[in-house]
Amino acid sequence: MPSQIVTLTVNGSPQELIAHPSTTLLRALRENLGLTGTKRGCAQGACGTCTVLLDGEPVVSCLVPVVTVDGAEVTTVEGLADADGGLSPLQQAFLDNFAQQCGFCTPGMLMTSCALLRRTPAPTRDEVDEGLSGNVCRCTGYEPIVAAVLDAAGRTSAEVGS
Amino acid sequence: MAPINPRVNPIDHDYFPHERRGSFSVIGSTVQRADAHGHVTGRTRFFEDTAPRGLLHLKVHRTTRHHARINSVDVTAARQVPGVVAVLTHEDVPNNWYTVLRLIGIEPDDEPVLAEDRVLYRGEPIVAVVAETEEAAWDGAGRVVVDYTDLPAVLDVEEALAPGAPVIKQAGTNYFVYEGHHCRRVRFGDVEAGFAAADHVFSWTYGSAPIEHAPTETTGCIVVPQGDGRLRIHSNTQAAFFTLDNTALIIGRPFADLQVVGGTVGGGFGGKVDVMVEPLACIAATVTNRPVQYSYSREEEMQVSSPRAAERIVITDGVLDDGSIVARKVVLYVDAGAYSRHSPYGTTKAAAHFPGPYTIPHVHIDAHCVYTNRTPSSAMRGFGVTIGDFALESQMDRIARELDMDPLELRLKNAYRDGDVKAHRKVASGTGLIEVIQRAADLVGHELAAESRLLSSTTPREG
Amino acid sequence: MLTAVLVPESLDAARAALADEARPLAGGTYLMPRLNDHATPPTRLVSLRRVGLDGIAVTADTVSIGATTTLARIEDDERLAVLHSCIRSIAARPVRTLATVAGNLFVRQPYGDLAVALLALGADVEIRGGAGPRTLPLDRMLSAGLAADELVTGVRFDRPAVFRYHKAGRRRFNSASIVTVAAVLSVADGVVHDARVALGGLAPRPLRCEPAERALVGRPLDEASVRAAAHAADPLIEPVDDAYASAWYRRRVFPVHLRRALLGH
């Protein structure tokens, strides 16, 4: 079967790309669209490193043939900051809490956390543990990551409150 | 809003107050990481984020055998896969030897880049296939046909050293030879005399399995031929210059022909110092004059990237009734797997680390670096030391239990102090173990005897 | 190598596409890992994402769930609270957003915990093939399989009064099963009147465990009857070694987890 055209809205911008049947959403983002912030970890759906938001929900993009999601909205780590490059409260909380070591899992952690905070704006520690359970950090920096998500939740609710 | 950071630990001023000079400006304060902004925005460039035009992909045909002679290799079908542009065998590798330690004089060279007439572990690479897409490269690699004669495999360190064991290494021994000796040795005092003088002799065995680093980013590189004929290597190696030197030796080109772009590593933990992918990618880039990527899949990372060595450790201690350890004998077997990589060095480190941070008058250490038909092991976080410490400290706890002693008191009694002569004839300095134990006891609410409180690592040992 | 990924927009179109030597692709969480990074024969996939088989219908007595409904959607539906402990025990949210109900019926153990739950719930499977629609009890479908031209279109079960679900994994969240136990029990006057017990992690497929059920019915639900049920189940289970646990370990701890599932401690 020939390659085909796929249309996506990525970080708010309409995008068109030519996809081979074997092109996953992960590869489309990285290779067709040059959005290399999303990382390939295992290509098995096991590590969460390639997590992006697909129509608002977190998915492991390595398991999604991109032709099956033609027309979808996708948000990647590049879409978290505002147009002027200002960090989101979640990104700032990751920065301030030293929630990264090698940085390779960070984009996936951010996207999963982003989705978690949308579903559960004021999560408990336990809910954060459960929410991040699909994202592997092999530097084992989980504690500061959990702290960052809880911190971000506090900042967001403070902003809403004021 | 002020940054929140609850994890800045204050400096402990209670110990060694006269050693503090001046005031610290970094320790004890919050300093943001230089790379953090790139990490949270996705802008940090890892090697795979390089996207050169015309990138080819290299995948490897690996053996399914633990130990076998290669009778023939047929790459005809691999070459016929649409999209395959090059197929490389050992004949295409100018100097077909990996030896990451050759630059510090450790020999013999023992590991081919691509297998020639034999394979020594499951997953050993035989043929590299270079193609326009990853899929075509996998397909091509899958179509290589190798005819083998299976040989008996050796899968246990002590079986490898037993008389009559099949010799799996071309150098003639299933162990690394240290300056003519069958193991790395330390001799201090007279351990048998120490055992004879002891009230108790305790001997226990400890073992560990191989441990895979499993970095989130698998091992890989992209090599880009430059207009001037040089090769630019984008790599996630933990050791850029090591990679440059070893790659140049293998591909038979001057060091100055290579440029390594690295330093950004998606998790290494010691697993990315072995220089396994860059040489083949450089050869493929040279043959095709196109950029080439060679990255491990997750399965390859688990199966063939070198793990921490499995170790087996027998510790025999002569101990007095009061807990003084007067003799310690350690026999260590490091499972190097099929090839040396960093294991001869790790084994030496282990020999140097025993008998642990304790002052013992009679010490005897035999550290064997043993070859088996398992995945070659290599560096990982404190290799040679970590498993040894597990064994040593387990041993200390067991001795304390046998003597009905507090395990911290047992350690304090034997802890080395400044001025003690260690088993390697070095004079200990800056030890601090006693103070660390005292503070650790405080932190967990563990009571120590009054005389233990008075001990200090700067007070010379009596007698 | 993937040679085609078709995305039909109706069930009939999907069935027509599948007739051309293709494999169905639901969430892809089991199939795609086996296609990524491997040399595979030329493979054609038919995605079921757009065939219109997702949806949840709940009445006072019954629950119907479309085949391609994602686990995340069940998790978000308060009416399906009975399934939530099961759903949350499966993988993690970025995988549950893809994984589907029907897909979960076909994965090998120690995956497929939802299939274990549905087995205990006595679910029926709605199937569509060339000969028209048919309905089959889940345990029959698991043992007999489907005809080549058939697809699962949904599952249906009666809402239970009490549903028990317990899964032991390698860690608290996001682990495949070591032992999974799901059960629907009715207890009146201190005696078990009816029991359906299903097990995961203990055989290649989810197991409906009738000997354990017989050991419970007519007896009080207590340590003795649960021990008898575990004993009765023992000849049925055929656990295997895998990266999560050894067969020996699974068999050894199964009675403990059956007790925790049925007695709560």
Q: HEC states along C202-218?
A: CCCCCEECHHHHHHHCC
**Contact between chains at A76 and B42 (C-beta distance less than 8 A):** yes
- Domain limit, last residue, from A79, A105, A137: A79
For residue B126, being part of any structural domain is answered with yes
- Residue A159: pLDDT band with limits 50, 70, 90: low
* Chains with at least 3 CB pairs less than 8 angstroms from chain B: A, C
B253 and B322, same structural domain?
Answer: no
pLDDT score of B345 more than 60:
yes
For residue B4, being part of any structural domain is answered with no
In this structure, what token pair is assigned to residue B205?
A: 């065995």
For residue B174, being part of any structural domain is answered with no
A96 and A156, same structural domain?
Answer: yes
Residues of A with CB under 8 A from a CB of B: 22, 30-31, 34-44, 46-47, 49, 76-78, 80-81, 87, 91, 94-98, 100, 102-107, 110, 136-139, 144, 147, 151, 155
DSSP helix/strand/coil, A30: helix
Neighbours of B413 (CB within 10 A): 18
From chain B, the residues in CB contact with C2 under 8 A are 135
pLDDT score of B17 more than 90:
no
Q: Is the peptide bond before C110 cis (omega within 30 degrees of 0)?
A: yes
For residue A127, being part of any structural domain is answered with yes
B288 and B312, same structural domain?
Answer: no
B349 and B291, same structural domain?
Answer: no
Q: Which residues face C177 on adjacent strands?
A: C169
pLDDT score of B27 more than 80:
no
Q: Where are the extended beta strands (E) located within chain A?
A: 4-10, 13-19, 51-54, 57-60, 73-75
- Domain limit, last residue, from A28, A44, A79: A79
Nearest residue, CB atoms, B298 vs list C1, C2, C37: C37
| Secondary-structure breakdown of chain A: helix, strand, coil percentages, each rounded to the nearest 5 | 40, 15, 40
- Domain limit, last residue, from B306, B327, B343: B306
Alpha helices in C158-236 (DSSP H): 210-216, 223-233
**Contact between chains at A48 and C92 (C-beta distance less than 8 A):** yes
Q: Which residues face B222 on adjacent strands?
A: B234, B293
Nearest residue, CB atoms, A59 vs list C25, C33, C97: C97
Residue A50 near residue A61, CB atoms below 8 Å: yes
Nearest residue, CB atoms, B216 vs list A35, A87, A138: A138
Question: How many angstroms away from the CA of A2 is the closest CA of chain B?
Answer: 15
For residue B8, being part of any structural domain is answered with no
A110 and A59, same structural domain?
Answer: no
| Alpha carbons C22 and C43: distance in angstroms, whole number | 7
pLDDT score of B22 more than 80:
no
Neighbours of C169 (CB within 10 A): 20
pLDDT score of B29 more than 60:
yes
Which of B57, B132, B133, B139 should one mutate to test binding to chain C, selecting the residue with the greatest count of C CBs within 10 A?
B139
From chain C, the residues in CB contact with A59 under 8 A are 94, 97-98
In this structure, what CATH number is given to the domain that contains residue A145?
Answer: 1.10.150.120
For residue B327, being part of any structural domain is answered with yes
B314 and B273, same structural domain?
Answer: no
Kindly list the domain boundaries of chain C, sorted by start residue.
2-46, 56-158, 164-263
Domain count, chain B: 2
A53 and A114, same structural domain?
Answer: no
What is the average pLDDT score of chain B?
Answer: 94
Which of B7, B32, B41 should one mutate to test binding to chain A, selecting the residue with the greatest count of A CBs within 10 A?
B41
- Average pLDDT of the residues in B225-244: 96
Burial of residue C131 (CB within 10 Å: 0-12, 13-18, 19+) is exposed
Q: Where are the extended beta strands (E) located within C19-101?
A: 23-25, 43-47, 56-58, 62-66
At C190, the amino acid letter reads: G
Nearest to C95 by CA among A152, B81, A64, B143: A64
CA B81 to chain centre: 38
Backbone angles phi, psi at B204, to 5 degrees: -135, 155
**Contact between chains at B138 and C37 (C-beta distance less than 8 A):** yes
Q: Which residue of B has its CA nearest to C41?
A: B139
Angle between helices A142-161 and A106-119 (to 10 degrees): 40
Question: How many angstroms away from the CA of A49 is the closest CA of chain B?
Answer: 8
Strands C124-129 vs C151-158: parallel, antiparallel or unpaired? antiparallel
B264 and B206, same structural domain?
Answer: no
A101 and A150, same structural domain?
Answer: yes
B245 and B332, same structural domain?
Answer: no
Nearest residue, CB atoms, A67 vs list C5, C88, C98: C5
From chain C, the residues in CB contact with A1 under 8 A are 3-6, 44
For residue A41, being part of any structural domain is answered with yes
In this structure, what CATH number is given to the domain that contains residue A42?
Answer: 3.10.20.30
Per-range mean pLDDT, top range of A155-159, B29-33, B152-156: B152-156
In this structure, what token pair is assigned to residue C62?
A: 């019954």
**Contact between chains at A134 and C94 (C-beta distance less than 8 A):** yes
Q: Count Cβ–Cβ pairs < 8 Å, chain A vs chain C.
A: 99
| Alpha carbons A75 and A70: distance in angstroms, whole number | 14
In this structure, what token pair is assigned to residue C231?
A: 């004993």
pLDDT score of B4 more than 60:
no
In this structure, what token pair is assigned to residue C9?
A: 């927009």
**Contact between chains at A91 and B41 (C-beta distance less than 8 A):** yes
| Alpha carbons B335 and B378: distance in angstroms, whole number | 10
For residue A84, being part of any structural domain is answered with no
DSSP helix/strand/coil, C5: strand
Nearest to A127 by CA among A103, A158, A149: A149
Nearest to C87 by CA among C78, B422, C262, A31: C78
CATH 3.30.390.50 for domain C164-263: yes
At B387, the amino acid letter reads: I
Q: Which residue of B has its CA nearest to C40?
A: B139
Nearest residue, CB atoms, C37 vs list B136, B143, B299: B299
**Contact between chains at B139 and C37 (C-beta distance less than 8 A):** no
Q: What's the ipTM?
A: 0.95
From chain C, the residues in CB contact with B297 under 8 A are 37-38
Residue A141 near residue A105, CB atoms below 8 Å: no
- Angle (CA) A158-A160-A162 rounded to 5° is 70
Nearest residue, CB atoms, C93 vs list A46, A58, A129: A58
**Contact between chains at A59 and C98 (C-beta distance less than 8 A):** yes
Nearest residue, CB atoms, A45 vs list C25, C32, C44: C32
From chain B, the residues in CB contact with A34 under 8 A are 51
For residue A55, being part of any structural domain is answered with yes
Q: Which residue of A has its CA nearest to C31?
A: A63
Strands A4-10 vs A73-75: parallel, antiparallel or unpaired? parallel
pLDDT digits (tens, 9 = 90+) for A84-101: 989 999 999 999 999 999
Q: Which residues face C165 on adjacent strands?
A: C182
Which of A110, A138, A159 should one mutate to test binding to chain B, selecting the residue with the greatest count of B CBs within 10 A?
A138
- Average pLDDT of the residues in B164-178: 97
At A107, the amino acid letter reads: P
Burial of residue C228 (CB within 10 Å: 0-12, 13-18, 19+) is middle
Report the pLDDT value the prediction gives residue B2, as an integer from 0 to 100: 44
B108 and B240, same structural domain?
Answer: yes
pLDDT score of B178 more than 80:
yes
CA distances from B338 to B64, B71, B238, B345 (A): 14, 20, 23, 15
Residue-range definition of the domain harbouring residue B239:
53-151+215-306
- Sequence-separated (6 or more) residues with CB below 8 Å from residue B1: A155
Question: How many angstroms away from the CA of B2 is the closest CA of chain A?
Answer: 9
Residue-range definition of the domain harbouring residue A110:
89-161
**Contact between chains at A78 and B42 (C-beta distance less than 8 A):** yes
From chain C, the residues in CB contact with A46 under 8 A are 33
Report the pLDDT value the prediction gives residue B59, as an integer from 0 to 100: 98
| Alpha carbons B101 and B111: distance in angstroms, whole number | 12
| Residue A158 or residue B278, greater confidence | B278
In this structure, what CATH number is given to the domain that contains residue B413?
Answer: 3.30.365.10
DSSP letters for B35-104: THHHHHHT----GGG---TT-EEEEEEE---SSEEEEEEE-HHHHTSTTEEEEE-GGG-SS--B-TTGGG
A10 and A38, same structural domain?
Answer: yes
Report the pLDDT value the prediction gives residue B3, as an integer from 0 to 100: 46
Alpha helices in C76-222 (DSSP H): 84-88, 93-96, 101-106, 113-120, 138-144, 210-216
For residue A137, being part of any structural domain is answered with yes
- Residue B56: pLDDT band with limits 50, 70, 90: very high
| Alpha carbons A80 and A91: distance in angstroms, whole number | 8
- Average pLDDT of the residues in A41-46: 96
Residue C160 near residue C121, CB atoms below 8 Å: yes
Report the pLDDT value the prediction gives residue B11, as an integer from 0 to 100: 73
Backbone angles phi, psi at B127, to 5 degrees: -135, 140
**Contact between chains at C1 and B134 (C-beta distance less than 8 A):** no
**Contact between chains at B215 and A138 (C-beta distance less than 8 A):** yes
- Angle (CA) B263-B268-B273 rounded to 5° is 75
Which of C32, C36, C37, C40 should one mutate to test binding to chain B, selecting the residue with the greatest count of B CBs within 10 A?
C37
**Contact between chains at A95 and B265 (C-beta distance less than 8 A):** no
Q: Count Cβ–Cβ pairs < 8 Å, chain B vs chain C.
A: 18
- Average pLDDT of the residues in B299-310: 96
pLDDT per residue of chain C (265 residues) written in tens, 0 to 9? 899 999 999 999 999 999 989 999 999 999 999 999 988 899 999 999 999 999 999 999 999 999 999 999 999 999 999 999 999 999 999 999 999 999 999 999 999 999 999 999 999 999 999 999 999 999 999 999 999 899 999 999 999 999 999 999 999 999 999 999 999 999 999 899 999 999 999 999 999 999 999 999 999 999 999 999 999 999 999 999 999 999 999 999 999 999 999 999 9
**Contact between chains at C39 and B299 (C-beta distance less than 8 A):** no
- Domain limit, last residue, from B254, B279, B306: B306
Total residues found in chain A within this entry: 162
Q: Which residues face C194 on adjacent strands?
A: C186
Q: Name all contacts of B253-261 with Cβ < 8 Å and 24+ positions apart.
A: B256/B230, B257/B229, B257/B230, B257/B231, B258/B230, B258/B231, B258/B233, B258/B282, B259/B226, B259/B230, B259/B231, B259/B232, B259/B233, B260/B233, B260/B235, B261/B47, B261/B232, B261/B233, B261/B234, B261/B235
Strands B200-207 vs B184-188: parallel, antiparallel or unpaired? unpaired
pLDDT score of A162 more than 60:
no
For residue B178, being part of any structural domain is answered with no
Domain count, chain A: 2
- Sequence-separated (6 or more) residues with CB below 8 Å from residue B391: B206, B311, B313, B315
CATH number of the structural domain C56-158? 3.30.465.10
B348 and B274, same structural domain?
Answer: no
DSSP helix/strand/coil, C81: helix
A75 and A105, same structural domain?
Answer: no
pLDDT digits (tens, 9 = 90+) for A9-35: 999 999 999 999 999 999 999 999 999
From chain B, the residues in CB contact with A35 under 8 A are 42
Question: How many angstroms away from the CA of B285 is the closest CA of chain A?
Answer: 20
Which of A40, A143, A155, A157 should one mutate to test binding to chain B, selecting the residue with the greatest count of B CBs within 10 A?
A40
B229 and B105, same structural domain?
Answer: yes
pLDDT digits (tens, 9 = 90+) for B403-432: 999 999 999 999 999 999 999 999 999 999
B396 and B365, same structural domain?
Answer: yes
Q: Is the peptide bond before B355 cis (omega within 30 degrees of 0)?
A: yes
- Domain limit, last residue, from A79, A114, A139: A79
Residue A77 near residue A86, CB atoms below 8 Å: no
At B107, the amino acid letter reads: E
B316 and B300, same structural domain?
Answer: no
For residue B442, being part of any structural domain is answered with yes
- Residue B7: pLDDT band with limits 50, 70, 90: low
- Sequence-separated (6 or more) residues with CB below 8 Å from residue B17: none
Residues of B with CB under 8 A from a CB of C: 134-136, 138-139, 141-143, 297-299
Q: Which residues of A64-92 are buried (b: 16+ CB within 10 A; e: fewer)?
A: bbbbbbeebebbbbbbbbeeeeebbbbbb
B339 and B298, same structural domain?
Answer: no
